[in-house]
Amino acid sequence: MKAFNIQHPNEALRPLIQEKIDNLNKPKGSLGRLESLAMQVCLIQQTLTPSLAHPCHLLLGGDHGIEREGVSVSPREVTWQQMLNFTRGGGGVNMFCRQHGFHLYIVDVGVDYDFPADTGILNHKIAYGTRNFLYGPAMTKEEYEHALQVGVDLVDKCHAEGCQVLCIGEMGIGNTSPSSIWMSLFCQIPLDECIGAGAGLNTVGIAHKREVLGKALDRFLQYKSVRSPSEEVIRCFGGFEMVAAIGAMLRAAEWKMVILVDGFIMTACAMSACRLYPEAKDYMIFGHCGDESGHRRMLEALHAEPLLSLGMRLGEGTGALCAFPIIDSAVRMMNEMNNFDHANITKYF
């Protein structure tokens, strides 16, 4: 596996950051979560004057072999159709990127479709979707390494442009299925408790999804164990877009970027990234807790507190993008609020 050099942020600056926060002209602790967010961003950037320059959003697309088993209410072609819709600016992700000033990169990592060259979609296609993990590993070791490298290369591109904050979203019909299995194996939670409606399955559809994923997990455990190396779990079930997201998160942590984590699928990717490199979590801010069954439990397993809970389940990174203004407020607090001395206000604590 590709090696990453990820370090916990240096804690030496923490007392000075806290002193600055406490001396802003407000009651101590009165800005609540903004204060802890400011602390996190300052530690990541090792500065008392943080910034969120050139925010970038990676929208990663890929199809899943397990979709052939009818585990999603949406057909496979919706993946490429939505990817094209994103190029025309018509998706939820486009709206939020425009609103909050994110540079949007739309990336084909494994979509089962040949996009015309003039669409603006970045072509990093590994294959036309993963294999059906009901019958074997979703991808080979070589494909797994390739997908990680796609994420690395994309983040290097963003970093070269001055990016300090990275958001990642996904487009891939069927990708709640690998997320549920990762959650079950990594969090040691019964699979039934990790499976939800995805894009809108009814009760019968959810029961079928449970049956299919249960068979896939049983087959895996015939040859592996619940203590299998994390890379094996990721490779055997993940999608190309999901593994690319893991590579992107790890590289972003290596570059000391702020990483915004979205809903169920991206939280599963964040969890997997942290299984490989626990230090990566220090760079992550969890934007949103969605409606997908099990998302809250996965966040609890990560000891992560999301900023928002809006009942969203669109994916694409939209929940994380909605949370960005809160992080921006925390950074503005550090840079724009006056302190007691400069404001000529008596410090009363």
d(C-alpha 105, C-alpha 58), whole Å = 5
Query: Given 231, 254, 292, 316, which residue is catalytic?
Result: 316
Structure tokens at 290: 């969605």
231 an active-site residue? no
Structure tokens at 281: 């979590």
Q: Are 157 and 57 in contact (CB under 8 A)?
A: no
Instruction: Report the catalytic residues.
Output: 316
